[in-house]
Amino acid sequence: MTRHRGRSRSLLVVLLAVLAAGPARAVWPFASGEFPDPVADPGNAAAQVLARAIRIRTVNPPGDEKPLAEFLVDLLRAEGIEAEVVETPSGDSEPGRAAAFGRVKGNGRKRPVILHSHLDVVPANPSEWVVPPFDGLVAGGYVVGRGALDAKGIAIVQLMALIQIARRETPLDRDVILLATPDEETGGQLGAGYVTRERRSILHDAEFLLTEGGGILESDPPLPPVWGVAVTEKTPCWLRVVARGTPGHSSSEPRDAAVPRLVAALEKIRTYESPPRVVPDVARMFATLAPYAREDDRKQLSDLTFWLDFDASFRGRFLADRGQNALVRNTVTITVLEGGTQTNVMPAEASAHLDARLLPGESCQAFRQEMLDAVDDPRVEIETLLSFDSGAGSPVDTELFRAIERVAKRFDPGSVVVPRAISGFTDAHYFRDLGIVSYGFVPRWLPARESLGIHGPNERISVRNLERGTQALVAILEELGGVASH
Ligand SMILES: [Zn+2]
């Protein structure tokens, strides 16, 4: 009796275990044939899921990210993974905005790692594209569409990696959390900003975070593949310049009209040059890359702070590269213009938007004053549209950085892992502010020209990249999670 009951109990345990693991997968859309299996055929599975994600429009504004969050959460739940649609402020957005959360628990010995991305995309002008930007086409080994790189392609690689981790026999030492937030493209206040302010508990006291901002640059020899890990970034300081003047009929030549006043102010801003300044993270990045640079620049790049000041001809060469220039300077770009609406009427007010990007540690308030001083016109005002402190960058001496280095060696012998400063900005600062070590890094191999698709036409990612990227991300998580068995 006892023996018999014991045996049936163990059978029951086995049966329950099979039911718990098996059927959850059986209802998973991959198993139903809707998508290829994410472990057996990871590249095509990722490609098909990404194509679907591209078809769910999330152009911000207004965003409307909720259906995409629901799609990702459904995929995770069907796999038996803990997942939740996290409501975020929706305003006028219909059908609404939300983040996607998923978690695979570890054994709790170490604090979690978050895989972060964003669900929204920038607009796309179909006339500039060779295929419709929101059709999610898979052809010629590529997935083409708005968001393929920025950042739906990242969300899907992270999702695939989470599924592979979930299917492992042994848990990792840490929870792996997937978090895809809305609203990044307009500053993230209602996405990552909201989650870090109002829903902090879902971050589960994470230690690390990986998000967009860095990747693997495939360069021409002798430069090896560069695994660029963004540890710090410039900070946006978005300003609105408003000029006021006498309104009226424009048949007489205006002495004091708003539009000419604005044009004069903008000309001073356009030609304004802030002095170069090399922050430590930028100095370290160029020093790491120096051995691969053209021979006559190597010495200078290895000590950029000194030589940029000292060697005028090197300074000229260095600053002529717009990307390099942006890493050692505050930059300001005039973007939006608003003024009159009729040819023969002088408006009382004319305005322009400035997209200024400040070096880490600089203040938008001070830069605004710098612009006011440059303009030097009492009838021109400058207001702040968006700004935040970039705060301190993330340290490099961490388990996560070393995990990336080990995986880089394995996947790309001869590659170099470089802590980078980037001239764009991401949601990383919201998480850095909470003390989470946050790196802008997604394992994908892109030649420089391919990155032009980000915010540009014909954005695409190769199926091979999706597959290898998932493998590399899983390898990083395994290295980080401390798996002695591997
Ligand atoms: Zn992005």
For the chain, the structural domain boundaries read 7-213+426-480, 275-329
Distance 151 CA to ligand 1 centre (A): 5
H-state helical runs in 271-387: 280-289, 298-302, 304-310, 312-320, 322-327, 364-375
Q: How far does residue 411's CA lie from ligand 1's centre (Å)?
A: 25
pLDDT of 453: 83
Ligand 1 centroid to Cα of residue 379, in Å, is 37
Alpha helices in 252-297 (DSSP H): 258-270, 280-289
Contacts of 473 (CB under 8 A, 6+ apart): 115, 157, 158, 161, 210, 442, 443
Write out pLDDT tens, residues 185-208. 998 999 999 999 999 999 999 999
Task: Outline where 381-454 has alpha helix (H).
Answer: 399-411, 428-432
- Residues 425-449 have pLDDT tens digits of 899 999 999 999 999 999 999 987 8
> What's the 14 CA to ligand 1 centre distance in angstroms?
45
Tell me, in angstroms, the distance from the centre of ligand 1 to residue 285's CA: 22
pLDDT tens digits, 206-260 = 999 999 999 999 877 777 899 999 999 999 999 999 999 988 877 777 778 999 9
Distance 185 CA to ligand 1 centre (A): 6
The pLDDT, as a whole number, for residue 95 is 93
Distance (angstroms) between ligand 1 centre and the Cα of 188 equals 10
Q: How far is the CA of 111 from the centre of ligand 1 (A)?
A: 26
Cα–Cα distance, 183 to 190 (Å, whole number): 6
CA–centroid distance, 329 to ligand 1, in Å, is 22
**How far apart are the CA of 32 and the centre of ligand 1, in A?**
32
Q: Tell me, in angstroms, the distance from the centre of ligand 1 to residue 184's CA.
A: 7
Percentage, residues of the chain above pLDDT 90: 76
Are 80 and 174 a contacting pair, CB within 8 Å? no
Q: Is 388 helix (H, G, I), strand (E, B) or coil?
A: coil
Residue 18 binned pLDDT confidence (cut-offs 50, 70, 90): very low
Q: What is the pLDDT of residues 369-379, one digit of tens each?
A: 999 999 999 99
Residue 107 in tokens: 């054994």
CA of 224 to the centre of ligand 1 (A): 26
For the cut 50, the answer to whether the pLDDT of residue 4 exceeds it is no
Spacing, Cα 37 to ligand 1 middle (Å): 27
Q: What is the pLDDT of residue 255?
A: 74
The domain defined by 7-213+426-480 carries CATH number 3.30.565.40 = no
The predicted-structure confidence for 127-171, as pLDDT tens digits, reads as follows 999 999 999 999 999 999 999 999 999 999 999 999 999 998 888
> Which ranges in 56-107 belong to alpha helices (H)?
66-78
- Report which secondary-structure segment, H or E, holds 93: none
Residue that the structure tokens 């205006």 belong to: 254
What's the gap in Å between 53 CA and the centre of ligand 1?
Answer: 15
Structure tokens of 352? 């322009």
Q: Which helix (H) or strand (E) element contains residue 100?
A: strand 98-104
Which pair of tokens denotes residue 210?
């990986």
CA of 180 to the centre of ligand 1 (A): 11
Structure pTM?
0.86
**pLDDT band for position 32 (cuts 50, 70, 90):** low
Express each pLDDT in 50-82 by its tens digit.
Answer: 999 999 999 999 999 999 999 999 999 999 999
Q: Ligand 1 center to residue 118 CA distance, Å? A: 7
- The CA 147 to ligand 1 mean position distance, Å, reads 8
Residue whose C-alpha is closest to residue 391's, from 263, 243, 282, 231 = 231
Q: What rounded mean pLDDT belongs to the chain?
A: 90
Q: Distance from the CA of 109 to the center of ligand 1, in angstroms?
A: 32
pLDDT tens column, 444-480 = 999 878 888 889 999 999 999 999 999 999 999 999 9
Residue 276 pLDDT > 50, yes or no?
A: yes
Tell me, in angstroms, the distance from the centre of ligand 1 to residue 378's CA: 38
Distance of alpha carbon 309 from alpha carbon 403, whole angstroms:
36
Mean pLDDT value of segment 287-297:
87
Decide if pLDDT at 175 tops 70: yes
CA dihedral 461→83→56→89, nearest 10 degrees, is -120
Q: Reply yes or no on whether the pLDDT at 28 is more than 60.
A: no
Q: Ligand 1 centre from 158 Cα, in Å?
A: 14
φ/ψ of residue 76, rounded to 5: -65, -45
